[in-house]
Structure formats: C-alpha cells, structure tokens
Amino acid sequence: PQPNPQAGAAVKAADRAHVFHSWSAQELIDPLAVAGAEGSHFWDYDGNRYLDFSSGLVYTNIGYQHPKVVEAIQRQAARMTTFAPAFAVEARSEAARLIAERTPGDLDRIFFTNGGADAVEHALRMARLHTGRPKVLSAYRSYHGGTQQAVNVTGDPRRWASDSGNAGVVRFWAPFPYRSRFYAETEEQECARALEHLETTIAFEGPGTIAAIVLETVPGTAGIMVPPRGYLAGVREICDRHGIVLVLDEVMSGFGRTGEWFAADLFGVVPDLMTFAKGVNSGYVPLGGVAVSGRIAETFARRPYPGGLTYSGHPLACAAAVATINVMAEEGVVDHAADLGARVVGPRLRDLAGRHPSVGEVRGVGMFWALELVRNRETREPLVPYNATGEAAAPMAAFTAAAKERGLWPFVHMNRTHVVPPCNITEADLKEGLAALDAALTVADRYAE
Ligand code: PLP
C-alpha cells in the first residue's frame, strides 16, 4: 500500500478531537492511525507494517480480512442485514448449531449477546435464577468484562474504579505456581492447596448462598496461567457437591486459541454455562454468547428467562460466525495452533528464557503464551510493579517501543508480554515475530539484574 501521511493525519486529528477511548487518560494517549490490515499484519499511513502478535485484543483468531468471511458478511448484508431476536433466522440458527456442535458435553443451547461482558452478565443471572442463591465466587487475577457485574467479578485493577462492593461477589485465589499464594513447591501442591482454599472459602461463605463459581478456563489478560492438571476437575466436583453452577469464561480462550476448540477440552471438564465472544467470528462483527447446559435450559423451559438484547443473534454477526467456524474447520486452524504452539512457540520461548535475564517464566499452550518479565530471576520481582503507570512502567514501555521498531506489535500487560498471534499465522511469520521478540527482549534485559 502507498503511504499517505496526509490522510493519516486527518484520521488522527478527528480521533483526537472526538473519539473517547476506553481505559485511557484521553490526553495521554497517541493512537496509531491504521490504514489497513490483512492476515496477521496491519499497516499505518506512513508505510510502516506490523506483525500483530496481539490479534487485536486477542480476538482475530483467523487474522484480518479473511476473504471467505468478508464475502459471507457481504452476502448476508445483501440478503438480510438485520432481524429482531424473536424470529428464527437462518444465519442465527446455523451459527447456534455450529457452536453447539463444538461446545463440550450438553452445552447445546446458545444465548447470543453482543460481546464477552454481557455474556458474563447473563451467565451469572441464569446461575442466580437457576439456583435461587445470591452469591458468585470469582478469582483474583481474572478479567470478565467492563459492565457492572462483569467488572465486579473481575479480579484485577480494572475493577477498582467501578467496585460497588457489589453485593454477593466473593473472590478467591486460583492456582498460579510461579507466584503461589499457597507456598507450594510443586504443581501438585499448588493444585491441592488451591482446591482446599476454595473449599474452605465456600464452607465459610455458606454453600447454600453461592449460585456460581466463575473462572476463565485459562486466565487470559491476567497472565495465561494454564491450571495444573486436576484443578478444574476438582472445581467441577466441588460445584457438584454443593449444587453450585460452574461458569467457565472462554471469551479469550475459546475458538482455537489453546489449540482446542475450547480450553475446557484440554481438561475434559464440562461446565454448566460457558461464555464466548472474540474468536467466535474473529470479531469481524460484534458477537458473544452463553452456551447453556440441558439442566439450566430446563429451568427456563416453562418459565421466561428475564433478559435479552435488541441485537441478540444479529444476522450479520451470526453469518460471520458461520463463515469463521467453517473456515476454521476447513483450514484446520485449531490443529495448526496446537502444532505451532507445541513445535515452535514453546521451544523457542524456552530458548529465549534461557538467554534473557529479564524472562522469569514462559508458560502457555497453543497460540496462548505469556512471558513473565522480571528484574531478578531469583526473587521473581516483576520488571515493573503491579499496576504501575507512567515512569514506574518505563521498562515495559521501552520493551514495547523496541518491538514496534522491529515491526512487531506486542501484547503487553503489566510486567508481561503475551505471544497471542492469529491462530492461522504462517510458520514463517511466527518465526520472524519470535526473532523480533528476541531482539526486543535485549532492551528489557537492561532493567534486569
Ligand atoms: N471475559 C474474558 C476472559 C475476556 O478476556 C474479556 C475481554 O477481554 C471479556 C470477558 C469481555 O469481553 P468484551 O470486551 O467483549 O465485553
């Protein structure tokens, strides 16, 4: 594409004058004006091209502008751009069928939302109505969305400004061996102690007061902590014993990200409700939803479910989901993510960890990896303090700038960088990105001992 700095300047000027950006101090940001995107790359108006190791906000699982999905959206727009949710519409029916065929166990009914946060809102409402109980348990080091209930079950600083001391949310610690809350020295200890902690929390809260436990199957932005084998099965067993609804949030981990259709498949665990969004249609048109088990669907078989959205199951979004799921199946995207993760990403990141003093730990699966950057590998002191901003966050800003200079757009959160490219990235692009990451880490190393 031809550079066009003048056009870029106009886009930027209107943005700065009128767009109110999420999670940002409006005068302290400098958003890049993006001219176009294709596959795993995007480019600006000045002729700079970037390899997107962040998949947007970890959602373009099949990359940008997949021609089959673009065409499906165009066809649906020409045929039926929109239709109200009370009707049976082909794109909606077909999307629900394709999703239900892939969700684990008996999660066979799909409630569509516009994104992830409202999927979490509805899942928790369903759980409370199904059990008649008021409380929800959620984990520290989690993110569940920006709306009032979803942000109140969130276990990171994004909650603080909106925290209403929201009645009925109790937080607990999930396993994280690298920064164990349980003084564990092995994965087995971490797993057993985290389950014991959850069991005790439930005992002291009163099992009969708890409607749901909500967990990201593999926590995403909070750090990609793949749970120890046995943890989720243990949570499932605790939920069964106490009549608590298990909600797994697969908004980020679903649709191929972990090298399975859903991360729950890695562990053979079937939740009662499962939320999804992002990868369901690579975010080409906003869409999310809740996959509902037979038991919970039964609760609302003869009693109305008190909730809905004008755009629930929007035909344009659903047509994009149908095309995306078909593309993923036809092109073997899920297996590709598993293969590249195991064969390329894992070994190469472990190699980086061996060579860069700033890399404290590497962890992940499929196209879902985190590098924990530290000042000191012995003490595991993070490269920047928890929730640091401004000067205190300078080392991560320097790392980010170094990656961008090398044409790599990294995902960065607190003291971590995540390797979360599109699940259909080519092996050559992936290796090029990992080489740029290698070079950028030498900048992070300057802050490490
Ligand atoms: N749940 C998880 C695990 C997420 O990662 C996110 C977004 O990053 C959400 C929920 C919220 O989704 P949305 O931003 O579409 O509302």
Of all protein residues, whose CA lies closest to atom 13 belonging to ligand 1? 116
Query: Among 58, 61, 143, which residue has the most ligand 1 atoms within 8 Å of its CB, making it the best to mutate?
Result: 143
Ligand 1 atom closest to the CA of 116, numbered from 1: 12
Report residue 145 as tokens.
């969305």
Ligand 1 atom closest to the CA of 250, numbered from 1: 3
Per the CB < 8 A criterion, the answer to whether 249 and 241 are in contact is no
Of all protein residues, whose CA lies closest to atom 12 belonging to ligand 1? 116
Per the CB < 8 A criterion, the answer to whether 253 and 263 are in contact is yes
> In this predicted structure, what is the pLDDT of residue 148?
87
Helices 315-330 and 67-79: crossing angle in degrees, nearest 10, is 150
> In this predicted structure, what is the pLDDT of residue 164?
77
Averaged pLDDT in 10-residue chunks for the chain of 449 residues: 94 98 95 98 98 98 98 98 98 98 98 98 98 97 94 88 82 98 98 98 97 98 98 98 98 98 98 98 98 98 96 98 98 98 98 98 98 98 95 97 98 98 98 98 97
Dist. CA 113 → ligand 1 center (Å) = 12
One CATH from 3.40.47.10, 3.40.640.10, 1.10.760.10, 3.40.190.10 for 67-330: 3.40.640.10
Query: Among 59, 144, 281, which residue has the most ligand 1 atoms within 8 Å of its CB, making it the best to mutate?
Result: 144
Per the CB < 8 A criterion, the answer to whether 117 and 144 are in contact is yes
> In this predicted structure, what is the pLDDT of residue 158?
86
Q: Which residues of 421-434 are buried (b: 16+ CB within 10 A; e: fewer)?
A: bbbbbeeebbebbb
Of all protein residues, whose CA lies closest to atom 10 belonging to ligand 1? 144
Backbone phi and psi for residue 136, each to the nearest 5 degrees, phi listed first: -130, 135
Dist. CA 413 → ligand 1 center (Å) = 15
Per the CB < 8 A criterion, the answer to whether 176 and 141 are in contact is yes
Dist. CA 274 → ligand 1 center (Å) = 13
Could you tell me where in the chain the CATH 3.90.1150.10 domains are found? 5-62+332-445
Question: What residues flank ligand 1, with Cβ below 6 Å?
Answer: 57, 115-117, 120, 143-146, 216, 220-221, 249, 251-252, 277, 288
Dist. CA 156 → ligand 1 center (Å) = 13
Sort strands 41-44 and 34-38 into parallel, antiparallel or unpaired: antiparallel
Query: Among 152, 251, 282, 284, which residue has the most ligand 1 atoms within 8 Å of its CB, making it the best to mutate?
Result: 251
Fold of 5-62+332-445: Aspartate Aminotransferase, domain 1 (3.90.1150)
> In this predicted structure, what is the pLDDT of residue 179?
97
State how far the alpha carbon of 79 is from the alpha carbons of 74, 89, 227, 280, 291, in Å: 9, 12, 45, 22, 27
Dist. CA 93 → ligand 1 center (Å) = 24
> In this predicted structure, what is the pLDDT of residue 178?
98
Report residue 440 as tokens.
């950028």
Q: Which residues of 31-40 are buried (b: 16+ CB within 10 A; e: fewer)?
A: ebbebebebb
Ligand 1 atom closest to the CA of 114, numbered from 1: 15
Q: How many angstroms separate the CA atoms of 442 and 393, rounded?
A: 17
Q: In what order do the strands lie in the sheet with 359-365?
A: 359-365, 368-373, 416-419, 411-413
Query: Among 216, 278, 281, which residue has the most ligand 1 atoms within 8 Å of its CB, making it the best to mutate?
Result: 278
